[in-house]
Chain A
Amino acid sequence: MTHSLKIVFSNYSYVVLASVIFITMLFGLLVLSEYIFLEPYIIGHISPGMELGFTLIVILTTLSAVVIPMNIYRINILKKSKRKVTGSVFGSFVGSIAGVCSCGPIGFTVFSTFGSVGATGLAFLTNYELPIRIAAIALLAVAYFTTVKSLKIECKII
């Protein structure tokens, strides 16, 4: 497991990619989920009862930052199929949209743009925010283990 990580992240460009994914995704999700406020002052705040949501965002972001570069490595270096990277990007995307569109800073904009369909979507994402994030984390974890396994095999062959 560590060996696969070492192989991928020994290449500096993948470390940069992972950092960019981690920072961008974490910052974006924390802003949209109202853990970070930018105006009028930049401030971080976790309201009581929102600790689990915060933890899930950190896990989701960390997994995305590890799994996506590993799969890009598989495609670039080993010229393997794009199926796994699609799965990991999908997992990251699903986990990201969960909950962030509810009554947060862009909720009413989504509602205004998409009308009743938007409202139904918002309600669904809000109601199932935590289960969706957990499912996305599970998807990314599966993607991580299968990628590690396939890298082990493919790298041995190479």
Chain B
Amino acid sequence: MVKKGLLFGIIISIIVVGVILVYFTSSVETANTDVRLHGTISTTMGSPIIGSPSAPITIVEFGDYQCHQCYNWFHNTKPSIFQNYVDIGKVNLVFVDLAFLGRDSPKAAQASYCAEDQGKYWEYHNQLYISQESKIDNGWANSERLKSFAFSLGLDSELFDSCLDSGKYAKRVQTNIAEAKKFGVSGTPTFFIIGPNGQQEKLVGAQPFSVFTQVLDSMI
């Protein structure tokens, strides 16, 4: 009888401790997760904001590091947008992963968040688009290369490698893909331009600077 009582007590104690632990853990997660919305799009799991956080217009880019059209946009259109809008505080930009083009795409996206842990998200993001090669999954974005990019940017290799190998940000990338699906994104790059009054314009593809100018100027 006493043994049964003891066993019952132990089980109850384990359950209570378990409940407390779960509650504590979820409280910590909730406390650390600030919901960030741009228009109706949740960019909480996306990149840090580049440009003035108080800029009236936000460009949300859904992209893949192995996507050629994203590469084209990065090299041909983005510099002009930065020069004319982002650098002078009119626009900011958030990148959200739609990593689907090959087996190395999700890993590359995860690597960018491992770089963010060390405060170098955008440097790493740029490095990926500068280093992109024409063939998908030919090894240019495999784990070894991703680690070498981190090394060349002066990141702490040990920290970066353990972050990448552990798959720490796998879920974050999946969440971003789910967000893209939710908003009907059908290809990369896709842009949502969110204006000061919450108006939202969708641009599909690596469209030229002239199109962005027209949309952005109509919102300012």
Contact = CB atoms under 8 A, between A and B. Distances in A.
Contacts of B180: 108
Contacts of A111: 100-101
B201 A103 contact: no
Given A47-B206, A109-B186, A103 B68 contact: yes
A45 interface: yes
Most A-side CB within 10 Å, residue of B100, B137, B208, B215 = B100
B204 A39 contact: yes
Interface stretch (B37-45, B69-77, B123-131, B153-161): B69-77
A108 B189 CA distance: 10
B136 A107 contact: no
Contacts of B215: 40
Contacts of B100: 107-108, 111, 119
B64 A43 contact: no
Nearest to A111: B100
A55 to B, nearest CB: 17
Contact of A103 (B64, B135, B208, B211): B64
Most A-side CB within 10 Å, residue of B72, B201, B205, B206 = B205
A96 interface: no
A150 interface: no
Contacts of A106: 186-187
A123 B102 CA distance: 7
Nearest to A35: B205
B20 to A, nearest CB: 41
Number of chain A interface residues as a range: 20 to 34
Contacts of A45: 207-208
Contacts of A108: 98, 100, 180, 185-188
B204 A103 contact: no
B174 to A, nearest CB: 14
Interface residues of B, number: 36
Contacts of B98: 108
A123 B137 contact: yes
B181 interface: yes
Given A37-B204, A41-B214, A105 B187 contact: yes
A110 to B, nearest CB: 9
B170 interface: no
Contact of A43 (B70, B136, B207): B207
A123 to B, nearest CB: 4
A50 B211 contact: no
Interface string B122-157: 000000000000111110000000000000000000
Contacts of B203: 39-40
Contact of B186 (A50, A105, A127): A105
Most B-side CB within 10 Å, residue of A45, A109, A111, A119 = A45
Contact of A107 (B101, B134, B211): B101
Interface string A112-147: 100000010011001100000000000000000000
In the A-B complex, the 6 residue pairs with the smallest Cβ-Cβ separation, listed nearest first, are: A103-B67, A123-B136, A107-B187, A47-B72, A45-B208, A105-B187
22 contacts: A34-B69, A37-B207, A39-B204, A40-B201, A47-B72, A47-B206, A49-B72, A102-B68, A103-B69, A103-B70, A104-B187, A105-B204, A106-B186, A106-B187, A108-B185, A108-B186, A108-B187, A108-B188, A109-B186, A122-B101, A126-B68, A127-B134
